[in-house]
Each structure stands twice: as C-alpha cells, then as structure tokens.
C-alpha cells in the first residue's frame, strides 16, 4: 500500500506500454524487485487492461493460477522477469537496461529511434542488503546506464522489524559512489507532484542510472502502518473495514473497482496503444530503408537464429590435435560470432582463463570512457559472478539478445540463486564454466568442483553439458543456442582432450550416445568430459590384460539424454549388462544411469593434474580395477535390467 501512490504516478504519467501487446519491443519495462508487493503489481496489470481478471486476483497464490505468490514472467502477462528472492529484480533490471542500450546502439538510425525505452524498478531495504544488488548496481554505475531508474521504498521496515537493528549504512552515499544520480522524495505517501518531479529529473540525467529515495509508510492507512506486522501478513477484518472507509470505498464490497478508476487506467492504456501504432508505422518505414536490420530485429524477437548459422560450428576428426574444451569453446565463439549477432556476453574477470572473447571483439562500454561502445558485444562483468548471472536473466528477458557469461565452474555456485531463476524463468542464458574438475590442478580443492554438477543437474529445466572433445563442444553450443526456454551450463576442461573416434555433433546432441561398441560386451562404461578418453584407454586395458569386453557411452548432457525416446535410451544403456559411471565429481545422480559409480565423494588435492588424477586412481588401470569388480559382482545376477528400465522414472 505504501507504494501505491508512486505506482499510480509512474503508470499514468510516465510509462509507455500497451496491454493488448505485452511484447511490444519499445515498451517501458517495470520490475518489482521486492516480490512481496506482487499483489500491487497484479492489481496494476488488471486495472490497465492486461489479461488478468478479478477472478485471477481472487485466486492469488492458488495452485495453477496466473497470480502466483511471487511474480513469474511465464505465468502472468505483463510480468517482465521472475522475482521474489531479494536483490534479483534490481539486478535483472540492470540486464534489461544493458540490453536496451545495446539494441538501441545496433538498430537505431538517424530519424529512427526505434529503441528508447526505460527500465523502472521498485526495490526495498532487503534488496539493498543483498550482495547481488550491490554487484549489479556497481556495474550499472560504471556503464552509465541512464535508461535505468530505481525507486527505493524507504519504509525502514523488514520482516524482523525496524531497519535500525541491522541496516544503518548511508545508502545514498554508497550509490553515489557507484556513480548513480540520487533524488529524494520526503513524502511518498501523499506528494504525487514531488514523485513526478523526481522521475522527470531522473529521465533528464542520461549518463547515470538514478536511485530515487522514496520515504514511505509500510501498510499506509492500516491500523498497523509503519510496523513489520503488515509485512506479508493479511490485515484483519476490522482493519480492512476502516481502511476502505478512510479511502472512500464501500466497506461491504470486496474486489470492487469504481468505473472512474477503470476509465482513467484504460485511457492511459489507449495512449500506449497509440504509441505502439506510431512505432509500428516508424518500423515499417525503417524496413524500406534498412531492410536487413529490420529483418534481423524481427528474427531476434521471435527467438529464432539466423538460417544456416550452425554450418559455422567446427567439426573434428581423430587426427586433429588434443585441445582443452575451454579452448574448443573459444573456437566455437570465433566461428559463430558473426552468424549469431545477438550473442552478447563476457566473463567475471577471467577472460584469459575462460577464453570467452573472440578475436576483434569490441567491449560494451560507455562511449565516453573510450573503452568501447554500447554496440560492443563483450561485457566486462568484473568479479561479480552472482550479479553477472542475474544481469544475464534480464538481458535474456529483453527479447533481442542471447547472453553468456564465463567463470570457473566452481564459482557458478556463487550465482546459484540467479541460475535457479534462469531455469524457473525459462530464459536462454549460457554459462561458459571452465576449469571443470580436479584437472585444473595446482589451484587445489578451493577451486576444484566436486558437488557442483550434481547441484545443477538436480535443478529442473537446466542443461548441464560436460563435453569430451571438439564435436561434443560444438553440440553443446548447438543445443544451448537452439533451446529458447532453457539455460545451459557448459563445464569445460583446462587440460587438453583428444578428439575421439566415433564422436559426432549429430550423436552428441542427443545428450548421450554409444562412443565405442563391441559385440558380447561384459560391461558398459559411462563417462563425461575429460574422463571419456580415459575410459577408452581402459577398454584396451580390460581386453588385453583381463579378457573383459567393455563398451563406452559418452554422456555429455543427462538432461538432454533424458528427453530422448525410451527405445533410444535403452539402445545406449541396454538390459542384460552391468554399467559403471566414471566422473571425477560427486557420484550423486549417477545411480539413475549406472549400476555402479566411480567418482570423487571428497574434496580434491593440489598438484599437477596428472598427479591428482593418479592419486584418486582416475587412470586406465584404476577404472579397469573397478570394472572388474563390477563384472564379478553382477555375473551371477540373472536378467540384469538397465537403470533406464524402472517402474517409475522421472524425466524432465
């Protein structure tokens, strides 16, 4: 209730939007960073004519409603990004602002300001406390994003009570140090003109994002206004009654909206529809003069890739040299960057290690800095993994870009909250996660991921790729780029990997395939990434020294493999033969595909990577030893069933 006055001013006096077309490219974006105020957002969407009815509002937080407990972009028309966890929304807003600035720099021409929208964000004290917001807002200040206006609901209340218990810093000085423009409104409960003046002043500052400190009263009008008792708790009946009477409503009516309110809101929406029609006419004229750019922008908004882009993916043969998969990733980026112009991203201060920058790339930077331009496609995210992830979600939500971000696989865990929202939001964001195992060597256990893949493989609607060679790396990029509604994590090696006999892009895009087949096999070895080539070497060890026949399955992406038809999955992991997984990570999750698991359920060790692999027996001999034990254990078991053949098998 405390933010209702500013919402009224913002939506009626400033924002451009058309509820009849929530996807209009040049609409102003509105982000509710503090998801606890989502009923205010739903009410606004209803009043202005989005596809939300009174019954939808009554169904708030009910199963299968389009008004969930926190805003979800794929559920509710008019919701731009999925928020709720504090700090994520403002960070998404930074991503939306970056995407707008880049899209404008690429497509706007003299006389054709196609893309000039603003991103507005409501944020609370909790958002300001979360570290992710500081990461994102620091970068926003550096990038001079004058198209971003954040409105701070400064009501001095959190769930525990008054902010004086834990949050007494000078927020304005902090944001001023970030490079933001600062405006204060002392009476956000009543002074609509001052609110409007503050927003107008923010729009006039084009080289800085703006933070508007709006002093409000939480639960404004309630008997318990100004206290934490109204934070997330429903008002009692007598309080609701006096509140309605105070504001001139019939206390006996519920969900009743005066017609004059609808009329006012619909008048604003009609102005937005007229603005879109003007824009459509401008865009049609643009098409006559800049047809290629017009067609490219239309294609991007559909989420489609340019025809034939996949022909640029590199293909390898066993005669090609061994190369680290992080280097193979760099090769893919160099090959496709012109064919996929919407691919925009960077690294969290690990460019030289992640190899995420293609030759000739221009940095995305404010032109005034001399470091790049807004049309540049390489973003220096700085040491801000969590902020990078949340920013990528906003960039993806804008609708014209495919974002990617690089860091070490172990440090994707810093960004777990943002990755989770990528999956929930169904956005196409790509993590280039290098240094993927104990194979990174001397940096030791602090940097060696053990549980990371199990964590993200457990996340619904998230593809985790761990390619074993060049063709599998190309396949990972192919599926990541063509999956419009799913984020991807590409786990890539530091050490060199050989190009494997039997690997192809066509096979690898199924997520798992038979790399080495042998008639009358005694065991199936299943592996990923850098362990696949060791499994191949173990085949020779088993055959020559122990007369055991082994077949090898490469499983670069479990989630994609799970989506294949059951007949195909059983052809890869058939009945009648025991299987053993091999991966230098936690074994958690592998029981879904193998009878036995060889992994690393402890932290790693410092040392040269070959020495570390040898220490933990990830060698042909170590694999062979465990394969022999598996064959011996299962040899007397009749009718061995594949782990695929279970009565109840959860699939993505």
Known binding-site positions for Mg(2+): 125, 155, 157
Q: Which helix (H) or strand (E) holds 505?
A: helix 505-508
Helix, strand, or coil here: 292? helix
Annotated binding-site residues read 36, 84-86, 125-126, 155, 157, 231, 326, 353, 411, 435, 443, 447, 494
For residues 430 and 404, is the Cβ–Cβ distance under 8 A? yes
Q: Which helix (H) or strand (E) holds 394?
A: helix 385-398
For residues 478 and 428, is the Cβ–Cβ distance under 8 A? no
Q: Annotate 556-621 with three-state secondary structure.
A: CCHHHHHCCCHHHHHHHCCCCCCEEEECCCCCCCHHHCCCEEECCCCCCCCCCHHHHHHHCCCCHH
For residues 510 and 592, is the Cβ–Cβ distance under 8 A? no
Q: Annotate 93-104 with three-state secondary structure.
A: HHHHHHHHHHHH
Residues in the chain: 652
385 is catalytic: yes
How far, in Å, are 203, 340, 377 from residue 178 at the CA level?
18, 33, 23
Helix, strand, or coil here: 431? strand
For residues 306 and 339, is the Cβ–Cβ distance under 8 A? yes
Helix, strand, or coil here: 37? helix
593 phi/psi in degrees, rounded to 5: -125, -15
Task: Print burial letters for 271-293: b (CB count within 10 Å at least 16), e (below 16).
Answer: ebbebbeebeeebeebeeebeeb
Catalytic residue among 80, 385, 472, 583, which? 385
Which tokens is 207 given? 């080289």
Give 519: exposed, middle or buried? Use CB within 10 Å, 0-12, 13-18, 19+.
Answer: exposed
Cα separation, 355 vs 543, in Å, equals 39
For residues 363 and 371, is the Cβ–Cβ distance under 8 A? yes
Cα separation, 145 vs 199, in Å, equals 15
Q: Which helix (H) or strand (E) holds 630?
A: helix 620-634
Cα separation, 132 vs 180, in Å, equals 17
DSSP 455: H
How far, in Å, are 3, 166, 308, 344, 552 from residue 631 at the CA level?
67, 60, 46, 49, 15
Q: CB neighbours (10 Å) of residue 466?
A: 31
Which tokens is 142 given? 């550096």
150 phi/psi in degrees, rounded to 5: -105, 135
Provide the annotated active-site residues. Answer: 385
């Amino acid at each position: 209730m405390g933010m209702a006055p500013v919402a009224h001013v913002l939506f009626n006096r400033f924002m451009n939007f058309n509820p009849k077309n929530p996807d209009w490219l040049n609409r102003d974006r509105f982000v509710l960073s503090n998801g606890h105020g989502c009923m205010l957002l739903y009410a606004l969407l209803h009043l202005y004519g989005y596809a939300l009815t009174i019954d939808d509002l009554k169904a708030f937080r009910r199963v299968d409603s389009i008004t969930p407990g926190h805003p979800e972009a794929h559920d509710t028309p008019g919701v731009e990004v999925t928020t709720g966890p504090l700090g994520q929304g403002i960070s998404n807003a930074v991503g939306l602002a970056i995407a707008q600035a880049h899209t404008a720099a690429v497509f706007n021409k003299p006389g054709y300001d196609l893309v000039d929208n603003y991103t507005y964000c409501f944020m609370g004290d909790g958002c300001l406390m979360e570290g992710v917001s500081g990461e994102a807002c620091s970068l926003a200040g550096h990038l001079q994003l004058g198209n971003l206006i954040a409105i701070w609901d400064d009501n001095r209340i959190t769930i525990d009570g008054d902010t004086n218990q834990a949050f007494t810093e000078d927020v304005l000085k902090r944001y001023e140090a970030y490079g933001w423009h600062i405006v204060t409104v002392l009476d956000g409960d009543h002074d609509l003109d001052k609110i409007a003046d503050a927003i107008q002043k923010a729009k006039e500052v084009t080289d800085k994002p703006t933070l508007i400190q709006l002093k409000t009263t939480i639960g404004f009008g309630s008997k318990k206004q100004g206290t934490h008792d109204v934070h997330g708790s429903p008002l009692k009946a007598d309080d609701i009654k006096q509140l309605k009477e105070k504001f001139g409503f019939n206390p006996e009516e519920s969900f009743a909206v005066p017609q004059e309110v609808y009329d006012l809101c619909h008048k604003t929406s009609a102005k937005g529809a007229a603005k879109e029609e003007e824009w459509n006419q401008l865009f049609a004229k643009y098409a006559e003069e800049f047809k290629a750019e017009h067609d490219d922008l239309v294609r991007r908004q559909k989420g489609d890739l340019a025809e034939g882009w996949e022909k640029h993916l590199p293909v390898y043969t066993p005669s090609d040299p061994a190369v680290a998969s992080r280097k193979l990733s760099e090769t893919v980026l160099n090959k496709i960057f012109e064919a996929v112009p919407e691919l925009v991203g960077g690294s969290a201060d690990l460019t030289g290690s992640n190899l995420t920058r293609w030759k000739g790339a221009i940095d995305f930077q404010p032109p005034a800095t001399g470091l790049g331009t807004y049309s540049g496609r390489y973003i220096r995210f700085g040491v801000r993994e969590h902020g990078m992830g949340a920013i990528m979600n906003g960039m993806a939500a804008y609708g014209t870009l495919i974002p990617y971000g690089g860091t070490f696989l172990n440090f994707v865990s810093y960004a777990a909250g943002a990755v989770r929202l990528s999956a929930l939001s169904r956005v196409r964001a790509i993590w280039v996660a290098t240094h993927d195992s104990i194979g990174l060597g001397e940096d030791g256990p602090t940097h060696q991921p053990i549980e990371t893949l199990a964590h993200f493989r457990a996340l619904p609607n998230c593809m985790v790729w761990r390619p074993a060679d060049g063709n599998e790396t190309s396949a990972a990029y192919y599926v990541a780029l063509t999956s419009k509604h799913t984020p991807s994590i590409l786990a890539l090696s530091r050490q060199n990997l050989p190009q494997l006999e039997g690997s192809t892009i066509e096979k690898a895009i199924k997520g798992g395939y038979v790399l080495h087949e042998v008639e009358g096999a005694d065991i199936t070895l299943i592996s990923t990434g850098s362990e696949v080539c060791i499994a191949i070497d173990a085949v020779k060890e088993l055959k020559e020294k122990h007369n055991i026949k082994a077949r090898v399955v490469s499983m670069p992406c479990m989630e994609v493999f799970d989506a294949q038809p059951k007949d195909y999955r059983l052809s890869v992991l058939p009945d009648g033969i025991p299987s053993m997984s091999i991966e230098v990570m936690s074994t958690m999750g592998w029981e879904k595909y193998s009878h036995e698991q060889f992994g690393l359920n402890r932290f790693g060790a410092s040392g040269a990577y070959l020495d570390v692999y040898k220490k933990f027996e990830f060698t042909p001999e170590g694999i062979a030893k465990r394969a022999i034990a598996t064959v011996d254990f299962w040899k007397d078991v009749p009718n061995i069933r594949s782990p695929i053949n279970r009565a109840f098998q959860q699939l993505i």
